[in-house]
Amino acid sequence: MDNQAFTEQFEQTYSAAPKVLVHAPGRVNIIGEHTDYNEGFVFPAAINFGTWVAATKRDDNTILVTAVDYDNQQNQFPLDDIQFDNEQGWANYVRGVVKVLKEALPDFGGANLLVTGNVPQGAGLSSSASFEVAILKAISALYELPLDGVQAALLGQKAENTFVGCSCGIMDQLISAMGNEGKAMLLDCQSLAIEHSPLPSTHQIVIINSNVKRGLVDSEYNLRREQCEESASILGVSSLRGATLEQLENTKSEMSEVVYRRARHIITENARTLTAAQALKDGDIATVSQAMAESHVSMRDDFEITVKPIDFLVEIISEVIGETGGVRMTGGGFGGCVVALVPTDQVDVVKQVVEYNYFDETGYKADVYVCTATQGAFA
């Protein structure tokens, strides 16, 4: 939806022109999976799919939000008593971020909000963080609140952890808030230090949605987090960020085989993420390719979060691009998307290989998105 059409829809809904129109991007994680809540390293890029929010002030202390993508469903709640909504699940992302924003920066009143987005939901491209950051940007812009991108990201994460009920890390919100056009972002999830790396102009980010649906607020994601915490406790470190492979091998007998493999994925994934980020800066695509391939194998075998259709996509794309690009599953797992760094002149071949082979093998139809790295909402 273009800005003019969105503005017109706001006027039809609220009989007034919006005072604020903001956009927050979704993201794809090039490498560094499940490392974020272990205080490790991740390497995402903000993508040109995201959430748009238009807003005006109200004279009362009520938030009224209309969701274009849910048949213009409306949800209304008072600022002084924000409760979880058991009927309209999508509304809890709005309620959660408004609640934590009110606790941090209470100097704002009611608002009429119109929301739409084009991040494929349940695909692992972080539609929820995009939604949260867009709401935070809209209200902070509307009321001129002194909210910066890092604080916004932390508030979005807090809302998802404490209100929505998903133990997500900080990556999704921070890249949506602070991404840079044409660059990927190496994020240290312990210190929140950010370093932007230019993506090669010779390559495209290609995202293939397996259309194997997944939900993040589920037992498997939270179970992985518990297993990581268990291994860190046995290793005597506050998080797996502080552990080495040598330490892990020395304490292997003290943990279950499953917990050992979960820890091995995180420790090796942190190393791969740093390697890939540096290799990209050096223009060493072969090393990026190897790191992404090893990341996928580790997610498949040690962290056990891939599914057969995803593994098949990685296999057939890897056969096309070889060492000239990289491919791996991206996102929380159990379905969702594959991310590939593909030489521009091979993008059409990758599309064809997916189109000709994926459905016949799996019974699923894939959606392919050729993306650009875009600017964050607060950048």
Separation between Cα atoms, residue 114 and residue 104, nearest integer Å: 23
Pair of tokens at residue 370 = 């050729």
Amino acid at 237: V
Q: Are 350 and 317 in contact (CB under 8 A)?
A: yes
Q: Which CATH class is domain 3-196?
A: alpha beta
SS3 content of the chain, % helix, strand, coil (to 5): 45, 20, 30
Separation between Cα atoms, residue 378 and residue 263, nearest integer Å: 34
The DSSP annotation for 256-284 comes to: -HHHHHHHHHHHHHHHHHHHHHHHHHHT-
**Fold of the 200-371 domain:** Alpha-Beta Plaits (3.30.70)
Listed by start position, the domains of the chain span 3-196, 200-371
pLDDT at 224: 94
pLDDT at 215: 54
Separation between Cα atoms, residue 196 and residue 163, nearest integer Å: 31
For tokens 């293939």, the residue is: 208
pLDDT digits (tens, 9 = 90+) for 250-289: 999 999 999 999 999 999 999 999 999 999 999 999 999 9
pLDDT at 124: 65
Separation between Cα atoms, residue 369 and residue 317, nearest integer Å: 14
For 146, half-sphere exposure in the C-beta direction (CA atoms, 13 angstrom radius) is 0
Separation between Cα atoms, residue 326 and residue 184, nearest integer Å: 14
pLDDT at 217: 42
Give the length of the chain.
379
pLDDT at 125: 74
The helix or strand, by DSSP H or E, that contains position 131, with its residue range, turns out to be helix 127-142
Separation between Cα atoms, residue 107 and residue 97, nearest integer Å: 15
pLDDT at 114: 98
Considering the candidates 81, 172, 345, 360, report the single residue annotated as catalytic.
172
- Average pLDDT per 10 consecutive residues for the chain, totaling 379 residues: 91 97 96 94 95 97 97 97 96 98 98 93 77 98 98 96 87 95 95 94 95 70 93 98 98 98 98 97 96 98 95 98 97 90 98 98 96 95
Concerning whether 172 is annotated as a catalytic residue, the answer is yes
pLDDT at 165: 87
Long-range contacts of 301-306 (CB under 8 A, 24+ apart): 301/261, 302/261, 302/262, 302/264, 302/265, 302/268, 303/33, 303/34, 303/224, 303/261, 303/262, 303/265, 303/333, 304/261, 305/33, 305/34, 305/220, 305/224, 305/329, 305/332, 305/333, 305/334, 306/333
